[in-house]
Amino acid sequence: MFTGIIESLGKVISLDPEKENLHITVECDFSNELKIDQSLSHNGVCLTVTKYDASTYAVTAIAETLRKSNLGLLNTGDLINLERSMVMNGRIDGHIVQGHVDCTALCTSVKEEGGSWLYTFEYDWDLNKITVEKGSICVNGVSLTVVNSAAEHFSVAIIPYTYEHTNFKNIAAGSVVNLEFDILGKYVAKHLALRG
């Protein structure tokens, strides 16, 4: 479980395909604190540490993960948002995030608004993928509040701290991002769909 509060930016050092899997090596400032089998969120995708050293670690994304996320679009040198799993005796500053990406979205616009940025994203909408005005959404692993919610698109406002400390500074119109919709909203939508 995660909170959507990004802990650090990681730099992709290498991408090594093996059959339908992709082994990703990442450089980050807390690599020496990791352990094998630990879960980390990578742009919102929960992946398991398979090896590490003082400055880098490796994870593997399987075909299912690559189909449903933007990890298959990574290039060497790209920056990714990182978060270690939450500690249950601490505050949850974002919202409950599972690290299970629902789909990707396309950034359709970025507008600078006098010190903040308004990002608009478009995605394939269905009953299990909804946003709610002032509700929570996880974009590339970042817990955010939805503004301008509508079918198939929504916007989020980014403050300067988030802009500087996540890979939002590299997102532009045409960028593909990972989305994880609010878990409570998904259960409500599924329940209503089953009731007809």
- Same domain for 127 and 75, yes or no, is no
What's residue 128's pLDDT?
Answer: 67
Task: Specify if 75 maps to a domain.
Answer: yes
How far is Cα 65 from Cα 79, in angstroms, rounded to an integer? 18
- Same domain for 131 and 161, yes or no, is yes
What are the residues facing 66 on neighbouring strands?
none
Domain that holds residue 153: 103-195
How many domains in the chain? 2
What's residue 96's pLDDT?
Answer: 87
Residues ≥6 apart with Cβ < 8 Å to 68: 101, 102, 103, 104
Spans of the chain below 50 pLDDT:
none
Last residue of a domain, one of 53, 84, 115: 84
What are the residues facing 51 on neighbouring strands?
58
Write down the pTM of the prediction: 0.90
Last residue of a domain, one of 84, 117, 137: 84
What's residue 127's pLDDT?
Answer: 61
Task: Specify if 94 maps to a domain.
Answer: no
Q: Is 172 left (phi over 0), alpha (psi -120 to 50) or beta?
A: beta
